[in-house]
Amino acid sequence: NEANASHFMNSVDAAAVYHNASTRFTDGGQFGLGGELAISTDKLHQRGPIGLQHLVTNKWYIKGKGQIR
């Protein structure tokens, strides 16, 4: 149900969480970030001098109705 899905989505430590949608949507082009988005599995992926904008991460919530892309 919606309450359980919402609780799960807010609790899980992931960059993108899905409810009734395909993981095929995990793409820089789909997120509006460009097609050449690199995938990093590290918590901190910045090299060199670090500013505040590099210390935060985005969490994407993808909710669908069974779409597969």
pLDDT value of residue 12: 93
- Per-residue pLDDT of the chain (69 residues), as tens digits, is 889 999 999 999 988 899 998 887 777 777 776 665 556 666 666 666 667 766 777 788 888 887 776
| Domain-wise residue ranges, the chain | 1-34+54-69
Query: Is the pTM above the cut of 0.75?
Result: no
pLDDT value of residue 10: 93
pLDDT value of residue 3: 93
CB-based contacts of 31, cutoff 8 Å, min separation 6: 37, 60
Which residue from 59, 68, 65 is spatially nearest to 31, judged by alpha carbons? 59
